[in-house]
Structure 1
Amino acid sequence: MMWLSRLAYGLGLLSTVTGTILQNGQVRETNYPDTRIDLAAGSYTTFANNACAISYLGRWDSKKVSWWAAPGIRFGFTGQTVAVTFGEHTIDGTLVGYRLSGLDWQFTNVTAGGTHLFISPETEGIDLTAPVSPNTFEMRVTNWGYGIQIDSVHVGEGDKIVKVAPQPRFVEFIGDSLSSGMYNSYEALSGFAYGVGQGLGNTEYSITAYPGICVADQDCWGNTRGQSHQWFYTTDNSWRSKELYGDEPEAWDFEKQQKADLVVINLGTNDANAANNVSSATYIEHYKRLIQGIHGVWPDAQVIVMQMWQGFYQDGNSYNQNTDFRNEVYSVYEYFNSEEYLNNPVIWDGITEEATETNEKAKPFVHFFNTTGILQHNDIAPQWHPTDVGQIKVASHLIQFITQKLGWHLYATGPEVFADTLYWNDQSGY
């Protein structure tokens, strides 16, 4: 969120709570269904929020409150009914996406203390044969600044929920507003990070990203700590975190998620902003710390560092892309591929903030993704963030980079990735 004022920052939060999607300055018609029900009016089998069949996707704290971007839940179920009761720490009006198995995303605004019916016998497709039995239910929080708390899950009387096996690959995304989809139609569910994670197929993913945050461990646009520190914690350092945990947030237990095969980092947009006064040397130092910490947590994970896009400026009768901190990002890539580091790797502990040299020689694991030429000036919206199309372009190119660099195959073969991006014309006479 390079040029975002604090006022615009607040407006970004407000627009999500009311469920409003702005498209070129105009309100897009959404017609989200009102899914709230009276639980006492029906007959259900209820499961507590700690039921082993519920998979928590992304970062959730010990109170089962969601954090960062696109956190969600997934489970299989028998029968034709799924409802969820939300706890008191749910932000009223939070927009969630949900879907039945491989069908398209649906959206609704949820309420603190309320029970919402997501799947019923009237749900389109519930009576169709599932490619994999039983049916699955998945729900994701769209916004990066608001969260939900899972209180309990309900299915039809006599039915049950079933654990869904995790996907064989896991990708961790670490970033700021660009990765969290700020200003896009469905925010986190319209961002490139989600697009890559979902678009690869057979891949679990987590998006530890929050607008305004720097990699440097300092205050940036209200984020009191940077990702070289905060990534090691369950929560971001937003007002929600301060309200629940003060200055003592929960450390993230990396055993709660499968080991990452790949970590993708897009950080520096806020560090490069003169308003945050981050020097080139400080940026490089803290970027190194973050990668050293990743290598300590997941020694076998590959890491991709992305060149940032800083928007475009008019240059005569054409446009050029800003490249602030490009050289610094590339120097980080060079450092981790140098004999100096590979012969004497360093592990950074983001909790104790201590560095330890190891005695084992490291293998090259850091790659540089050059984004030059992927976006053009009209792929950047007025608030200095990619349009929905821009996010899709970045995701598409990054997916191809991953498949070529790591030899990964693509397995996504049908389920919707980006909602409401069907830009076509079906009229022949116009």
Structure 2
Amino acid sequence: MRLIPYACRVASLATLASSTILQNGQVRLTHFLETAIAPIDSNSTDWHTYGPNATELSYKGRWDSKHISWWAAPGLKFGFTGSQVAITFGQYTSPGVLIAFRVSGLDWQFTNVTANSTHHLVSPSTPGLGATLPSQLPLTFELRVTNWAYGVQISNIHVSSNSTLIKLPNHSKTIEFIGDSLTSGMYATYEALSGFGYAIGAGFGDVEFSITAYPGICLHDANCWGNPRGQTYQWFQTSDTSYRASQIYDTAPEKWDFAAHPAADIVLINLGTNDNNTANNVTSDEYLTSYLSFVQQVHAVYPKANIVIMSLWNGFYQTGNTYKQAGAFTDEIYQVYQQFKDEGWLHYFNSTGILQHNDVAPQYHPTDVGHVKIASHVMQYMRIKFGWEFAATGPEVQHETLYWNDEQNY
């Protein structure tokens, strides 16, 4: 994906059809697969086709009644027998959206998909499977949309004619992330798939997670950086605040049915960076009042959840011959915590000191390293605070993050 300023995003949505990753101003070599194939006829004897509402499919994150994905890193997961998987994407799939997919615990593979196309994603030649794979060996397939502004629509799932899909049970614990561009991984290498929200959820290994985060959005219900509503409204909707959503929903968006999905055990909120920008005209009093109301609403939805509110680092500034963390709404966020801490369900995570100034990129967002640092500290906090032990068993969390030299002759 090309990392381009947020203000340019909306105008680029219709034309972006290639994926370029810039690192330190240079183009990174990528190896995105060419997976598009001819349409698969529903009566084909070579394939066994399932519709998007098949009970064997597990949708991760927020998807609407038309099986359109929204917000950051939405996913799809299922088990299957055989060695073939293809997916047909519907008309509401964004042009050229980059998806990540993998089989079981193997590394992520990447490909660009578009509307009304079919993509052959798993075959006997898929790395790690091998041509001699037993046809009835159950495997796991997982898909994630890497971007936060784009999405896919699932039309059909195809497996080999003599194969079947398998329903995978959900993990027993669930995390809900509520945030803005920081949580959604804006400007990170694989955006949502490289953000700290995804890194925390996937890093635990045995939890379900949903990242309800979108760049530019405020906590307070105001128009911020082109987002018509704030999270105090939008979190209760299925879709996000994107231009894509405004084109698909010409009237009111679908309400999110919380009761139809597993309740969160932990909710992590990182909101206020956009409210703090003078361009959006949110006052300190408005922010505080909205935050006090919002945490109570989240608590009403998830009465058994532990809700964690994060302090905001808000970049760095030079002072003398060093740098200091700026912070934002420091007193207001802590006041929210103070208001409810005695009730036992609201907790405060102080992010001060985790990032250094070089962990924030020129676009004011964490680098990949910055996201890893935030995720690592938050995971340790959850481990100590709530007793959640780490359970990841080896599958990669962040893709292509090789930060050390692996050449012995230099």
TM-score range, shorter chain: over 0.9
Structure 2: 5+ residue stretches without partners: none
- Equivalence for 1:400: 380
1:411 to 2:401 alignment: no
* Aligned partner letter, 1:27: V
- The CA RMSD over aligned residues, in Å, is 1.9
Flag the 1:129–1:198 CA change in 2: closer, same or farther, 3 A.
farther
Bigger Cα displacement from structure 2, 153-162 vs 236-245: 236-245
- Equivalence for 1:283: 287
Q: Distance in 2 between matches of 1:387 and 1:272?
A: 21
* Aligned partner letter, 1:248: A
Superposition pairs for residues 261-410 of structure 1, below 5 Å? 261-338=265-342, 363-410=343-390
Report the TM-score when normalising by structure 2: 0.94
Report the TM-score when normalising by structure 1: 0.90
* Aligned partner letter, 1:36: A
Flag the 1:20–1:6 CA change in 2: closer, same or farther, 3 A.
closer
Please give the secondary structure, in 1, of the residue aligned with 2:74: strand
Cα drift, residue 255 of structure 1: 2.6
Q: Distance in 2 between matches of 1:383 and 1:106?
A: 27
1:214 to 2:238 alignment: no
Q: Distance in 2 between matches of 1:402 and 1:264?
A: 10
- Equivalence for 1:47: 50
Which deviations, in whole Å up to 9, do the C-alpha atoms of 1:311-367 show, x marking residues without a partner?
1111110000001211111111111125xxxxxxxxxxxxxxxxxxxxxxxx41111
- Equivalence for 1:351: none
Please give the secondary structure, in 2, of the residue aligned with 1:288: helix
Q: Quick one: percent identity of the two aligned structures?
A: 53
Which deviations, in whole Å up to 9, do the C-alpha atoms of 1:197-255 show, x marking residues without a partner?
00011000000000000000010011111001110000112111111112400000113
Q: Distance in 1 between matches of 2:206 and 2:267?
A: 16
Cα drift, residue 129 of structure 1: 8.2
Contact 1:68 1:210 in 2 (8 A): yes
* Aligned partner letter, 1:336: F
* Aligned partner letter, 1:330: Y
* Aligned partner letter, 2:293: R
Superposition pairs for residues 115-264 of structure 1, below 5 Å? 115-127=118-130, 134-264=138-268
Contact 1:173 1:206 in 2 (8 A): yes
Structure 1: 5+ residue stretches without partners: 339-362
- Equivalence for 1:114: 117
- Equivalence for 1:356: none
Q: Distance in 2 between matches of 1:46 and 1:414?
A: 31
- Equivalence for 1:345: none
Contact 2:40 2:118 in 1 (8 A): no
Cα drift, residue 14 of structure 1: 7.9
Contact 1:33 1:108 in 2 (8 A): yes
Which deviations, in whole Å up to 9, do the C-alpha atoms of 1:22-55 show, x marking residues without a partner?
1111111112111001144971000000000000
Number of residue pairs aligned between Structure 1 and Structure 2: 402
* Aligned partner letter, 1:419: H
Please give the secondary structure, in 2, of the residue aligned with 1:205: strand
Q: Distance in 2 between matches of 1:312 and 1:281?
A: 24
Contact 2:124 2:133 in 1 (8 A): no
1:98 to 97, 101, 122: 101
Flag the 1:13–1:199 CA change in 2: closer, same or farther, 3 A.
farther
